[in-house]
Structure 1
Amino acid sequence: MIECSFIGEVCTYLEFSRKTYHSAIAMLHYFLSKFQNLQLEHFQALGAAMVLIAAKIEETDLVTVENVAYWSERPEEDCNLMILFENHFMCGFDGSVPLTIVTTYEWFMMYHQLYAHSQISYNTSNMPIDDDVLRDMDIVIIESAFSRYSYSLLAAALFYRGFCNGNDVLLSRCTGYKKSQVANVELLIQDFRIKWKVGSLMNGTDTMETDEPQEERQWNQPPLALTVDELVCCL
Protein backbone atom coordinates (compact mmCIF):
# COMPACT_ATOMS: atom_id res chain seq x y z
CA MET A 1 0.00 0.00 0.00
CA ILE A 2 2.97 2.32 0.61
CA GLU A 3 4.10 2.15 -3.00
CA CYS A 4 0.52 2.73 -4.20
CA SER A 5 0.35 5.91 -2.14
CA PHE A 6 3.67 7.04 -3.59
CA ILE A 7 2.40 6.41 -7.13
CA GLY A 8 -0.67 8.50 -6.32
CA GLU A 9 1.47 11.34 -5.00
CA VAL A 10 3.73 11.37 -8.06
CA CYS A 11 0.78 11.33 -10.46
CA THR A 12 -0.78 14.20 -8.53
CA TYR A 13 2.40 16.30 -8.46
CA LEU A 14 3.01 15.77 -12.18
CA GLU A 15 -0.69 16.25 -13.01
CA PHE A 16 -0.98 12.90 -14.74
CA SER A 17 -4.38 11.51 -15.67
CA ARG A 18 -6.35 9.00 -13.64
CA LYS A 19 -5.77 6.52 -16.46
CA THR A 20 -2.00 6.85 -15.99
CA TYR A 21 -2.42 6.32 -12.25
CA HIS A 22 -4.47 3.16 -12.71
CA SER A 23 -2.11 1.83 -15.37
CA ALA A 24 0.87 2.31 -13.06
CA ILE A 25 -0.89 0.46 -10.23
CA ALA A 26 -1.84 -2.40 -12.56
CA MET A 27 1.75 -2.68 -13.78
CA LEU A 28 2.98 -2.64 -10.18
CA HIS A 29 0.64 -5.50 -9.28
CA TYR A 30 1.85 -7.48 -12.27
CA PHE A 31 5.52 -6.84 -11.49
CA LEU A 32 5.12 -7.89 -7.86
CA SER A 33 3.29 -11.05 -8.93
CA LYS A 34 6.45 -12.04 -10.80
CA PHE A 35 9.27 -10.44 -8.85
CA GLN A 36 9.36 -10.95 -5.11
CA ASN A 37 11.75 -10.32 -2.21
CA LEU A 38 12.39 -6.68 -3.05
CA GLN A 39 14.11 -4.71 -0.34
CA LEU A 40 11.96 -2.00 1.21
CA GLU A 41 14.23 0.83 0.04
CA HIS A 42 13.69 -0.21 -3.58
CA PHE A 43 9.90 0.07 -3.55
CA GLN A 44 9.82 3.77 -4.36
CA ALA A 45 12.06 3.20 -7.37
CA LEU A 46 9.78 0.40 -8.53
CA GLY A 47 6.68 2.56 -8.11
CA ALA A 48 8.38 5.41 -9.95
CA ALA A 49 9.37 3.07 -12.79
CA MET A 50 5.77 1.93 -13.21
CA VAL A 51 4.64 5.57 -13.30
CA LEU A 52 7.29 6.26 -15.93
CA ILE A 53 6.12 3.41 -18.16
CA ALA A 54 2.45 4.32 -17.76
CA ALA A 55 3.12 8.00 -18.45
CA LYS A 56 5.06 7.20 -21.62
CA ILE A 57 2.00 5.32 -22.86
CA GLU A 58 -0.80 7.57 -21.64
CA GLU A 59 0.57 11.13 -21.40
CA THR A 60 1.18 13.45 -24.34
CA ASP A 61 3.97 15.53 -22.76
CA LEU A 62 7.56 14.31 -22.62
CA VAL A 63 8.27 12.36 -19.43
CA THR A 64 11.82 11.60 -18.30
CA VAL A 65 13.33 9.42 -15.61
CA GLU A 66 14.54 12.54 -13.81
CA ASN A 67 11.04 14.09 -13.79
CA VAL A 68 9.57 11.13 -11.96
CA ALA A 69 12.57 10.26 -9.75
CA TYR A 70 12.64 13.83 -8.44
CA TRP A 71 9.76 12.98 -6.09
CA SER A 72 11.44 9.96 -4.50
CA GLU A 73 13.52 10.13 -1.35
CA ARG A 74 16.70 9.12 -3.22
CA PRO A 75 16.32 10.60 -6.71
CA GLU A 76 19.88 10.02 -7.94
CA GLU A 77 20.04 6.39 -6.81
CA ASP A 78 16.48 5.67 -7.90
CA CYS A 79 17.13 6.88 -11.45
CA ASN A 80 19.39 3.89 -12.09
CA LEU A 81 17.00 1.47 -10.41
CA MET A 82 14.07 2.86 -12.38
CA ILE A 83 15.88 2.17 -15.64
CA LEU A 84 16.65 -1.34 -14.42
CA PHE A 85 13.04 -2.03 -13.45
CA GLU A 86 11.71 -0.49 -16.66
CA ASN A 87 14.02 -2.58 -18.84
CA HIS A 88 13.10 -5.76 -17.03
CA PHE A 89 9.38 -5.03 -17.27
CA MET A 90 9.52 -4.12 -20.95
CA CYS A 91 11.74 -7.08 -21.84
CA GLY A 92 9.27 -9.37 -20.14
CA PHE A 93 9.36 -12.15 -17.60
CA ASP A 94 10.38 -15.12 -19.72
CA GLY A 95 8.17 -13.70 -22.46
CA SER A 96 5.07 -13.70 -20.27
CA VAL A 97 4.51 -9.97 -19.84
CA PRO A 98 1.23 -8.88 -21.48
CA LEU A 99 1.44 -6.33 -24.26
CA THR A 100 -1.33 -4.38 -22.56
CA ILE A 101 -3.05 -4.49 -19.20
CA VAL A 102 -6.66 -3.34 -19.31
CA THR A 103 -7.13 -1.61 -15.97
CA THR A 104 -10.19 -1.31 -13.75
CA TYR A 105 -10.51 2.29 -14.92
CA GLU A 106 -10.54 1.29 -18.60
CA TRP A 107 -13.08 -1.48 -18.03
CA PHE A 108 -15.29 0.97 -16.14
CA MET A 109 -15.09 3.60 -18.88
CA MET A 110 -16.03 0.98 -21.46
CA TYR A 111 -19.08 -0.01 -19.39
CA HIS A 112 -19.90 3.68 -19.02
CA GLN A 113 -19.77 4.13 -22.80
CA LEU A 114 -22.05 1.13 -23.34
CA TYR A 115 -24.41 2.61 -20.78
CA ALA A 116 -24.47 5.88 -22.71
CA HIS A 117 -25.32 3.99 -25.88
CA SER A 118 -28.31 2.44 -24.14
CA GLN A 119 -29.74 5.86 -23.31
CA ILE A 120 -31.40 8.49 -25.46
CA SER A 121 -28.27 10.66 -25.39
CA TYR A 122 -25.02 9.15 -26.63
CA ASN A 123 -22.97 11.87 -24.97
CA THR A 124 -21.21 10.51 -21.87
CA SER A 125 -20.61 14.08 -20.68
CA ASN A 126 -24.32 14.15 -19.81
CA MET A 127 -23.73 11.18 -17.50
CA PRO A 128 -20.97 12.32 -15.13
CA ILE A 129 -19.25 9.80 -12.90
CA ASP A 130 -19.91 10.47 -9.24
CA ASP A 131 -16.90 11.36 -7.07
CA ASP A 132 -17.82 8.56 -4.67
CA VAL A 133 -17.47 6.04 -7.50
CA LEU A 134 -14.04 7.43 -8.39
CA ARG A 135 -12.97 7.18 -4.75
CA ASP A 136 -14.23 3.60 -4.62
CA MET A 137 -12.22 2.90 -7.76
CA ASP A 138 -9.08 4.11 -6.01
CA ILE A 139 -9.87 1.91 -3.01
CA VAL A 140 -10.18 -1.29 -5.05
CA ILE A 141 -6.80 -0.85 -6.74
CA ILE A 142 -5.00 -0.05 -3.48
CA GLU A 143 -6.44 -2.55 -1.00
CA SER A 144 -4.99 -6.05 -1.17
CA ALA A 145 -8.38 -7.65 -0.41
CA PHE A 146 -9.45 -6.84 -3.97
CA SER A 147 -6.38 -8.33 -5.66
CA ARG A 148 -8.13 -11.71 -5.95
CA TYR A 149 -10.71 -10.27 -8.35
CA SER A 150 -10.29 -9.51 -12.04
CA TYR A 151 -10.23 -5.87 -13.14
CA SER A 152 -13.34 -6.39 -15.27
CA LEU A 153 -15.32 -7.72 -12.29
CA LEU A 154 -14.18 -4.87 -10.05
CA ALA A 155 -15.26 -2.39 -12.70
CA ALA A 156 -18.62 -4.13 -13.06
CA ALA A 157 -19.24 -3.86 -9.31
CA LEU A 158 -18.35 -0.16 -9.42
CA PHE A 159 -20.61 0.35 -12.41
CA TYR A 160 -23.48 -1.36 -10.61
CA ARG A 161 -23.02 0.93 -7.61
CA GLY A 162 -22.76 4.05 -9.72
CA PHE A 163 -25.32 3.67 -12.48
CA CYS A 164 -27.60 0.65 -12.22
CA ASN A 165 -29.75 1.63 -9.22
CA GLY A 166 -30.65 -2.00 -8.70
CA ASN A 167 -31.28 -2.64 -12.41
CA ASP A 168 -29.82 -6.12 -12.89
CA VAL A 169 -30.73 -6.15 -16.60
CA LEU A 170 -28.69 -2.99 -17.22
CA LEU A 171 -25.73 -4.52 -15.38
CA SER A 172 -25.83 -7.64 -17.54
CA ARG A 173 -26.34 -5.68 -20.76
CA CYS A 174 -23.41 -3.31 -20.21
CA THR A 175 -20.90 -5.56 -18.42
CA GLY A 176 -21.86 -9.17 -19.11
CA TYR A 177 -21.91 -9.88 -15.36
CA LYS A 178 -24.89 -10.91 -13.24
CA LYS A 179 -25.83 -9.35 -9.91
CA SER A 180 -24.83 -12.55 -8.10
CA GLN A 181 -21.31 -12.24 -9.52
CA VAL A 182 -20.72 -8.68 -8.33
CA ALA A 183 -22.59 -8.92 -5.01
CA ASN A 184 -19.60 -9.95 -2.87
CA VAL A 185 -17.36 -7.30 -4.42
CA GLU A 186 -20.01 -4.64 -3.88
CA LEU A 187 -20.30 -5.53 -0.20
CA LEU A 188 -16.52 -5.50 0.17
CA ILE A 189 -16.36 -2.04 -1.41
CA GLN A 190 -19.01 -0.82 1.02
CA ASP A 191 -17.08 -2.23 3.98
CA PHE A 192 -13.85 -0.56 2.91
CA ARG A 193 -15.60 2.72 2.19
CA ILE A 194 -16.79 2.74 5.80
CA LYS A 195 -13.33 1.80 7.08
CA TRP A 196 -11.71 4.59 5.09
CA LYS A 197 -14.22 7.12 6.37
CA VAL A 198 -13.60 6.31 10.01
CA GLY A 199 -9.85 6.03 9.49
CA SER A 200 -9.59 2.52 10.92
CA LEU A 201 -7.05 1.54 8.26
CA MET A 202 -4.45 3.47 10.24
CA ASN A 203 -4.23 0.61 12.74
CA GLY A 204 -2.60 -1.64 10.16
CA THR A 205 -5.55 -3.92 9.43
CA ASP A 206 -5.75 -3.09 5.75
CA THR A 207 -7.13 -6.40 4.52
CA MET A 208 -10.42 -8.16 4.96
CA GLU A 209 -10.80 -11.91 4.76
CA THR A 210 -13.82 -13.64 3.27
CA ASP A 211 -14.81 -17.27 2.98
CA GLU A 212 -16.67 -16.73 -0.28
CA PRO A 213 -15.19 -18.30 -3.43
CA GLN A 214 -13.18 -15.70 -5.32
CA GLU A 215 -12.38 -15.10 -8.96
CA GLU A 216 -8.61 -15.22 -9.20
CA ARG A 217 -6.70 -12.74 -11.33
CA GLN A 218 -4.59 -15.12 -13.35
CA TRP A 219 -1.13 -14.32 -14.67
CA ASN A 220 0.71 -16.52 -17.09
CA GLN A 221 3.50 -17.86 -14.89
CA PRO A 222 4.34 -18.25 -11.18
CA PRO A 223 6.25 -15.50 -9.33
CA LEU A 224 9.99 -15.18 -9.75
CA ALA A 225 11.63 -15.04 -6.32
CA LEU A 226 14.63 -12.90 -7.28
CA THR A 227 16.66 -10.32 -5.43
CA VAL A 228 17.69 -7.03 -7.03
CA ASP A 229 21.25 -8.33 -7.44
CA GLU A 230 19.93 -11.41 -9.23
CA LEU A 231 17.77 -9.19 -11.39
CA VAL A 232 20.83 -7.19 -12.44
CA CYS A 233 22.51 -10.42 -13.48
CA CYS A 234 19.53 -11.27 -15.67
CA LEU A 235 19.93 -8.14 -17.80
Structure 2
Amino acid sequence: MVSTGRKLGKITLTVSLLFFGVSCKSMAQQQPISERTITINMSASELLPANLIIFNVNINAEADTPKEAFEAHKERESLLADLLKEFDIKEEDIDFEPIRMNKRYRNESQTTVTNQSVSLSFNNFGTYEKIQITLIENGFDSFNGQFSSTEISEGKEKALISAIEAAKERAELIANTSGVALGPVQTINYSDHQIGIPRKSSMMAMDAVRSESSMMDFAQTVSVTANINISFSIK
Protein backbone atom coordinates (compact mmCIF):
# COMPACT_ATOMS: atom_id res chain seq x y z
CA MET A 1 0.00 0.00 0.00
CA VAL A 2 1.38 3.36 -1.01
CA SER A 3 1.22 6.03 1.61
CA THR A 4 -0.67 9.26 1.08
CA GLY A 5 2.59 11.26 1.18
CA ARG A 6 4.07 9.27 -1.72
CA LYS A 7 0.90 9.76 -3.81
CA LEU A 8 1.05 13.51 -3.28
CA GLY A 9 4.71 13.48 -4.28
CA LYS A 10 3.97 11.73 -7.59
CA ILE A 11 1.08 14.04 -8.40
CA THR A 12 3.15 17.14 -7.69
CA LEU A 13 6.01 15.91 -9.87
CA THR A 14 3.68 15.10 -12.77
CA VAL A 15 1.94 18.48 -12.65
CA SER A 16 5.26 20.33 -12.46
CA LEU A 17 6.58 18.53 -15.53
CA LEU A 18 3.33 19.25 -17.35
CA PHE A 19 3.58 22.99 -16.63
CA PHE A 20 7.23 22.99 -17.67
CA GLY A 21 6.34 21.33 -20.97
CA VAL A 22 3.53 23.79 -21.66
CA SER A 23 5.82 26.71 -20.81
CA CYS A 24 8.53 25.52 -23.21
CA LYS A 25 5.98 25.05 -25.99
CA SER A 26 4.54 28.51 -25.39
CA MET A 27 7.99 30.14 -25.51
CA ALA A 28 8.79 28.36 -28.77
CA GLN A 29 5.57 29.67 -30.33
CA GLN A 30 6.35 33.26 -29.26
CA GLN A 31 9.81 33.33 -30.88
CA PRO A 32 9.51 35.27 -34.19
CA ILE A 33 10.56 33.55 -37.35
CA SER A 34 12.94 35.84 -39.25
CA GLU A 35 11.50 36.68 -42.67
CA ARG A 36 13.80 36.59 -45.66
CA THR A 37 14.10 39.88 -47.51
CA ILE A 38 15.98 41.45 -50.39
CA THR A 39 17.06 45.10 -50.12
CA ILE A 40 17.70 47.37 -53.09
CA ASN A 41 19.35 50.80 -53.13
CA MET A 42 18.37 52.80 -56.20
CA SER A 43 18.73 56.36 -57.52
CA ALA A 44 17.01 58.09 -60.44
CA SER A 45 17.40 61.60 -61.83
CA GLU A 46 15.33 64.00 -63.91
CA LEU A 47 16.76 66.85 -65.98
CA LEU A 48 14.66 70.01 -65.83
CA PRO A 49 14.84 73.25 -67.81
CA ALA A 50 16.85 75.88 -65.93
CA ASN A 51 14.27 78.61 -66.36
CA LEU A 52 14.82 80.31 -63.00
CA ILE A 53 17.69 82.05 -61.21
CA ILE A 54 18.00 82.13 -57.42
CA PHE A 55 20.01 85.23 -56.51
CA ASN A 56 21.36 85.67 -52.97
CA VAL A 57 22.47 89.04 -51.59
CA ASN A 58 24.14 89.70 -48.23
CA ILE A 59 23.56 93.13 -46.71
CA ASN A 60 26.28 93.99 -44.21
CA ALA A 61 27.63 97.02 -42.40
CA GLU A 62 30.27 97.77 -39.78
CA ALA A 63 30.64 100.72 -37.40
CA ASP A 64 32.10 101.65 -34.03
CA THR A 65 28.77 101.54 -32.18
CA PRO A 66 25.67 99.34 -32.52
CA LYS A 67 23.53 102.38 -33.36
CA GLU A 68 25.85 103.52 -36.14
CA ALA A 69 26.06 99.99 -37.56
CA PHE A 70 22.29 99.62 -37.51
CA GLU A 71 21.74 102.97 -39.23
CA ALA A 72 24.32 102.13 -41.92
CA HIS A 73 22.66 98.77 -42.44
CA LYS A 74 19.20 100.34 -42.82
CA GLU A 75 20.57 102.69 -45.48
CA ARG A 76 21.93 99.76 -47.49
CA GLU A 77 18.72 97.80 -46.95
CA SER A 78 16.68 100.76 -48.24
CA LEU A 79 18.96 101.05 -51.26
CA LEU A 80 18.49 97.35 -52.09
CA ALA A 81 14.71 97.64 -51.69
CA ASP A 82 14.68 100.53 -54.18
CA LEU A 83 16.76 98.48 -56.64
CA LEU A 84 14.35 95.54 -56.39
CA LYS A 85 11.44 97.84 -57.17
CA GLU A 86 13.39 99.30 -60.08
CA PHE A 87 13.96 95.81 -61.51
CA ASP A 88 10.31 94.91 -60.86
CA ILE A 89 11.11 91.97 -58.57
CA LYS A 90 7.75 90.86 -57.18
CA GLU A 91 7.16 90.57 -53.44
CA GLU A 92 6.38 86.85 -53.63
CA ASP A 93 9.81 86.30 -55.22
CA ILE A 94 11.69 87.89 -52.30
CA ASP A 95 12.72 86.03 -49.13
CA PHE A 96 14.84 87.56 -46.39
CA GLU A 97 16.15 86.94 -42.88
CA PRO A 98 16.06 89.41 -39.96
CA ILE A 99 19.09 91.60 -39.31
CA ARG A 100 21.83 89.97 -37.22
CA MET A 101 24.26 92.08 -35.17
CA ASN A 102 27.52 90.92 -33.60
CA LYS A 103 30.56 92.43 -31.95
CA ARG A 104 33.90 92.12 -33.72
CA TYR A 105 37.22 92.43 -31.91
CA ARG A 106 40.44 93.46 -33.65
CA ASN A 107 43.45 93.77 -31.39
CA GLU A 108 42.22 96.25 -28.77
CA SER A 109 39.42 97.78 -30.86
CA GLN A 110 35.79 96.73 -30.98
CA THR A 111 33.19 97.27 -33.70
CA THR A 112 29.65 96.13 -34.44
CA VAL A 113 28.87 94.26 -37.65
CA THR A 114 25.49 93.48 -39.18
CA ASN A 115 24.39 90.85 -41.66
CA GLN A 116 21.15 90.08 -43.46
CA SER A 117 20.47 87.49 -46.17
CA VAL A 118 18.09 88.28 -49.02
CA SER A 119 17.11 85.72 -51.67
CA LEU A 120 15.48 86.65 -54.98
CA SER A 121 14.08 84.50 -57.75
CA PHE A 122 13.38 85.63 -61.31
CA ASN A 123 13.18 84.14 -64.79
CA ASN A 124 14.43 87.13 -66.76
CA PHE A 125 18.05 86.19 -67.30
CA GLY A 126 18.85 89.69 -68.54
CA THR A 127 17.99 91.00 -65.06
CA TYR A 128 20.69 88.78 -63.56
CA GLU A 129 23.45 90.54 -65.46
CA LYS A 130 22.14 94.05 -64.88
CA ILE A 131 21.42 93.67 -61.17
CA GLN A 132 24.98 92.54 -60.43
CA ILE A 133 26.46 95.62 -62.08
CA THR A 134 24.04 97.87 -60.21
CA LEU A 135 24.83 96.22 -56.87
CA ILE A 136 28.58 96.67 -57.36
CA GLU A 137 28.09 100.30 -58.35
CA ASN A 138 26.19 100.84 -55.10
CA GLY A 139 28.74 99.26 -52.78
CA PHE A 140 27.43 95.69 -52.46
CA ASP A 141 30.17 93.09 -52.62
CA SER A 142 28.62 89.84 -51.37
CA PHE A 143 26.15 88.10 -53.68
CA ASN A 144 25.84 84.97 -55.83
CA GLY A 145 23.38 83.22 -58.11
CA GLN A 146 22.47 79.71 -59.19
CA PHE A 147 20.17 78.09 -61.71
CA SER A 148 16.93 76.47 -60.63
CA SER A 149 13.64 75.47 -62.22
CA THR A 150 9.94 76.12 -61.77
CA GLU A 151 9.40 72.37 -62.28
CA ILE A 152 11.36 71.12 -59.24
CA SER A 153 8.33 69.54 -57.49
CA GLU A 154 7.19 67.69 -60.60
CA GLY A 155 10.76 66.57 -61.28
CA LYS A 156 11.14 65.11 -57.79
CA GLU A 157 7.94 63.09 -58.21
CA LYS A 158 9.06 61.73 -61.59
CA ALA A 159 12.49 60.83 -60.22
CA LEU A 160 10.91 59.02 -57.26
CA ILE A 161 8.59 57.00 -59.51
CA SER A 162 11.52 56.06 -61.75
CA ALA A 163 13.62 54.99 -58.75
CA ILE A 164 10.84 52.78 -57.34
CA GLU A 165 10.13 51.15 -60.70
CA ALA A 166 13.84 50.50 -61.30
CA ALA A 167 14.25 49.05 -57.79
CA LYS A 168 11.31 46.69 -58.31
CA GLU A 169 12.67 45.51 -61.66
CA ARG A 170 16.08 44.87 -60.11
CA ALA A 171 14.54 42.96 -57.19
CA GLU A 172 12.43 40.82 -59.54
CA LEU A 173 15.50 40.02 -61.64
CA ILE A 174 17.50 38.94 -58.59
CA ALA A 175 14.60 36.91 -57.16
CA ASN A 176 13.84 35.11 -60.43
CA THR A 177 17.50 34.34 -61.04
CA SER A 178 17.84 33.03 -57.48
CA GLY A 179 14.77 30.79 -57.77
CA VAL A 180 12.61 32.59 -55.20
CA ALA A 181 9.38 34.56 -55.43
CA LEU A 182 9.27 38.28 -54.71
CA GLY A 183 6.83 39.26 -51.97
CA PRO A 184 5.36 42.60 -50.84
CA VAL A 185 7.34 45.67 -49.80
CA GLN A 186 8.49 45.61 -46.18
CA THR A 187 10.25 48.98 -45.73
CA ILE A 188 11.05 52.06 -47.81
CA ASN A 189 13.49 54.88 -47.00
CA TYR A 190 13.49 57.87 -49.32
CA SER A 191 15.40 61.12 -49.86
CA ASP A 192 15.84 63.61 -52.70
CA HIS A 193 18.15 66.46 -53.57
CA GLN A 194 18.70 69.04 -56.26
CA ILE A 195 21.95 69.47 -58.13
CA GLY A 196 22.22 73.15 -58.94
CA ILE A 197 25.12 72.79 -61.38
CA PRO A 198 23.70 73.52 -64.84
CA ARG A 199 24.17 71.10 -67.69
CA LYS A 200 24.02 71.59 -71.43
CA SER A 201 20.66 71.11 -73.05
CA SER A 202 19.45 70.88 -76.61
CA MET A 203 16.41 72.96 -75.67
CA MET A 204 16.01 76.46 -77.07
CA ALA A 205 16.98 79.44 -74.95
CA MET A 206 14.05 80.70 -72.93
CA ASP A 207 14.73 84.42 -72.83
CA ALA A 208 14.49 86.91 -75.66
CA VAL A 209 17.04 87.06 -78.44
CA ARG A 210 19.86 89.45 -77.55
CA SER A 211 21.73 91.84 -79.77
CA GLU A 212 25.01 90.60 -78.25
CA SER A 213 26.07 87.04 -77.55
CA SER A 214 26.12 85.83 -73.95
CA MET A 215 26.51 82.56 -72.08
CA MET A 216 22.90 83.08 -71.04
CA ASP A 217 21.93 82.41 -74.67
CA PHE A 218 22.68 78.71 -74.14
CA ALA A 219 19.85 76.74 -72.54
CA GLN A 220 20.77 74.84 -69.39
CA THR A 221 19.20 72.17 -67.22
CA VAL A 222 19.29 71.33 -63.53
CA SER A 223 19.08 67.83 -62.10
CA VAL A 224 16.92 66.47 -59.27
CA THR A 225 17.68 63.03 -57.87
CA ALA A 226 15.58 60.63 -55.79
CA ASN A 227 17.28 57.98 -53.63
CA ILE A 228 15.42 55.01 -52.16
CA ASN A 229 16.25 52.03 -50.00
CA ILE A 230 13.50 49.44 -50.38
CA SER A 231 13.14 45.95 -48.89
CA PHE A 232 10.94 43.19 -50.34
CA SER A 233 10.07 39.90 -48.69
CA ILE A 234 11.02 36.77 -50.62
CA LYS A 235 9.30 33.39 -50.52
Normalised-by-shorter TM-score class = under 0.3
TM-score (normalizing by structure 1): 0.22
Structure with the higher fraction of residues in helix conformation: 1
TM-score (normalizing by structure 2): 0.22
Structure with the higher fraction of residues in strand conformation: 2
In terms of Rg, which structure is larger? 2
